[in-house]
Structure 1
Amino acid sequence: MTRVTDPKLPRHETFVDVTDGYRLWVQTTGDPERPALLLVMGANASGLSWPDELVELLSRDHFVVRYDHRDTGRSTHAFAERPYPIRALADDAIAILDALRIPRAHVVGMSMGGTLVQLLLLDHPDRLLSATILGSALIGGAAPDPDIKDEDLPGPDPRLLALWAELGQERDAEAELRWRVAHWRVLNGDVLPFDPEEFADLERRIAAHSGTWHSPAAHALADQSGMERGAELAKVSVPTLVIDAPEDPITPPPHAARLARAIPTATLVTVPGLGHALPRAVVPSLATTITDHTGRRS
């Protein structure tokens, strides 16, 4: 059974206990009387990776919830002792809504978070007011698309593959910070300006929040089975927004278009210049894109 560890903190920070002895750090922002909006971040990433500026803009219209996945941030780190499949992280999102007594929410998922949102669309449509997906590919097992074939889909930027080969290596704090900023530089894409100090400051805050500079890698090791369900998305009825990030070095076009075509209720919207990072330069337009979508479904 899930529970809020401290029920007197519904609008700030709390911890939610989920399965297998994992406890998740959860932060809420905004008026709890407004429609809830749950932010689901990508693999091995703390919830603080959602920019504070974006959270603040979204909280003008929503009760915003962001959280640390298992093995990130202040949540329990225990993958070596208690491994889990990636699909368990989707169950964690529902456990957080249950613990906060939120019957239905808008959900926004980035990268792996977008994969989890696809699972939520399939398994928990009754809990979703709407869904927004960015920086994510269509989950496996999808019906063939006559216009966008698998061979048309580019893979990740080779610069990222080189950096990912170093994921989880032991580095001192200074070296780890340099690696993370280099990673963000590639994720940002080559159109929007990149401010290394903006992302260095973000990583310093994440390290302080987490209490460590150790680079998490549990999600790269987690079981990927049970994800071959793309064909089921044809039955989705929840209003869904797919955001096309034209400069995304992980899931570049036409990944977003393929995902949108697989969901009958999906709308595809391009945010110019967007890559696989959320720099300040793109936050206002991204917030507007999300709230335009959620505002029609609240």
Structure 2
Amino acid sequence: MQQFIQAAPGIRLWTEQRGPADAPPLLLVMGAQASGIGWPEEFVDALAEHHRVIRYDHRDTGRSTWAYDTDPYPISTLAEDIVTLLDKLGIARAHLVGLSLGGMLSQLVLADHPDRVASATLMGTNALSTRPYTAPDGTEVPAEELPGIAPEVLEFWARPVEDNGEEAELDRRTEHWRLLAGGQLPFDPAWYRELERRIIAHTGTYTPPSAHSRANPDGLLRTEALAANRVPVQAIVAPTEPVFPPPHPQHLAQCLNAVRVTEIAGMGHALPPAVQGPLVSAILAHTGAVS
């Protein structure tokens, strides 16, 4: 079932729900510039066998309202949209699954509205905390000294995006996924190209979103609130993650008192078929234990 939610005056969010209406709600929170269609169909269907799964388009992505140029907002507004979405759908508490920026937004909800979260599974993200990371040997590493984004990814992000037509844009997006996938699992360019072709068809334009890269990222740290977290959190370790590589997931687990730290073999900053089964199993094990 698809519907639009009024998140704010002049702002509508596209949403889609799958699974039994009376099953525990699970909200999928995508990353920056990313439509909810970025959650692969098979992945959503597998979760929907056990949950009322909701995926949605952030504002300025997909079919949701694109209005940043006339009505700019800080990144934190995207977290407020999560709470509004739950309110409008009549959901008191939901399991959250957040990827990349979606993991940061989920942390903001955990910190500011913990009563709305049944559990959280976070991946491809960093802790919104200044707490140092404690390595296995007891050494403390300042948060700002943890490994950064892979140079090849930074170089790709720095390139100007030119409009050379839809097929050229699909080429560019597929190359982006190759860099994000991590390089350990075989890379299937046709699979990623088809994923992006569906996103473009859903959105109605091949023009890539850019609002989230321009939005103000200030005020996201929640060190003390996350240290007091008691909501069950699972941190996913992606060994070939190029954006927030290990030990970021372990640091995240320490900062949020995670009850589970689960490694998905071969995973990078992407959701190809090879990681979907193990990832679904990890999410369902976590939500099932909470339920």
Report the TM-score when normalising by structure 1: 0.93
Q: Distance in 1 between matches of 2:81 and 2:119?
A: 18
Q: Where does 1:32-43 land on structure 2 (aligned, <5 Å)?
A: 32-43=21-32
Maintained 8 Å contact 1:168/1:217: no
> Structure 1 stretch 67-76 or stretch 154-163: which is displaced more?
154-163
Given residue 132 of structure 2, which amino acid in structure 1 is its aligned partner? P
1:64 paired with 2:57, answer no
Q: Give 3-state SS (helix, strand or coil) of 1:296's partner.
A: helix
Correspondence for 1:244 among 233, 237, 246: 237
Query: How many residues are paired up?
Result: 286
Q: Distance in 1 between matches of 2:141 and 2:224?
A: 15
Given residue 143 of structure 1, which amino acid in structure 2 is its aligned partner? R
Q: Distance in 1 between matches of 2:275 and 2:203?
A: 26
Q: Where does 1:1-298 land on structure 2 (aligned, <5 Å)?
A: 12-140=1-129, 142-146=130-134, 147-150=140-143, 152-166=145-159, 168-298=161-291
Shift of 1:287: 0.2
Given residue 237 of structure 1, which amino acid in structure 2 is its aligned partner? R
Maintained 8 Å contact 2:131/2:142: no
Detail structure 1 runs of 4+ shifted over 4 Å in the superposition.
Answer: none
Maintained 8 Å contact 1:148/1:254: no
> Structure 1 stretch 159-168 or stretch 27-36: which is displaced more?
159-168
Shift of 1:155: 1.1
Shift of 1:45: 0.3
- CA displacement 1:44-79 (0-9 Å, x = unmatched): 000010111110110011000000001000000111
Gaps of 5+ in 2: 135-139
Maintained 8 Å contact 1:26/1:66: yes
Shift of 1:41: 0.2
Given residue 52 of structure 1, which amino acid in structure 2 is its aligned partner? E
Maintained 8 Å contact 1:167/1:215: no
Q: Give 3-state SS (helix, strand or coil) of 2:262's partner.
A: strand
Q: Distance in 2 between matches of 1:136 and 1:20?
A: 30
Gaps of 5+ in 1: 1-11
Judged with a 3 Å threshold, the aligned counterparts in structure 2 of structure 1 residues 163 and 118 are, in CA distance, closer, same or farther, namely same
> Structure 1 stretch 91-100 or stretch 72-81: which is displaced more?
91-100
Q: Distance in 2 between matches of 1:169 and 1:66?
A: 29
> What residue number does 2:137 align with?
none
Q: Distance in 1 between matches of 2:33 and 2:181?
A: 17
Maintained 8 Å contact 2:93/2:117: yes
Maintained 8 Å contact 2:32/2:101: yes
Maintained 8 Å contact 1:135/1:245: yes
> Structure 1 stretch 258-267 or stretch 125-134: which is displaced more?
258-267
Q: Distance in 1 between matches of 2:27 and 2:89?
A: 11
Task: Give the aligned CA root-mean-square deviation in angstroms.
Answer: 1.3
Q: Distance in 1 between matches of 2:289 and 2:10?
A: 38
Q: Distance in 1 between matches of 2:76 and 2:162?
A: 26
Maintained 8 Å contact 1:15/1:23: yes
Maintained 8 Å contact 1:43/1:219: yes
- CA displacement 1:138-157 (0-9 Å, x = unmatched): 114x2234533336411111
Q: Distance in 2 between matches of 1:153 and 1:144?
A: 9
Q: Distance in 1 between matches of 2:284 and 2:36?
A: 19
Shift of 1:266: 3.7
Judged with a 3 Å threshold, the aligned counterparts in structure 2 of structure 1 residues 168 and 97 are, in CA distance, closer, same or farther, namely farther
Q: Distance in 2 between matches of 1:244 and 1:190?
A: 16
Shift of 1:232: 2.3
Q: Distance in 2 between matches of 1:124 and 1:151?
A: 26
Q: Distance in 2 between matches of 1:239 and 1:148?
A: 25
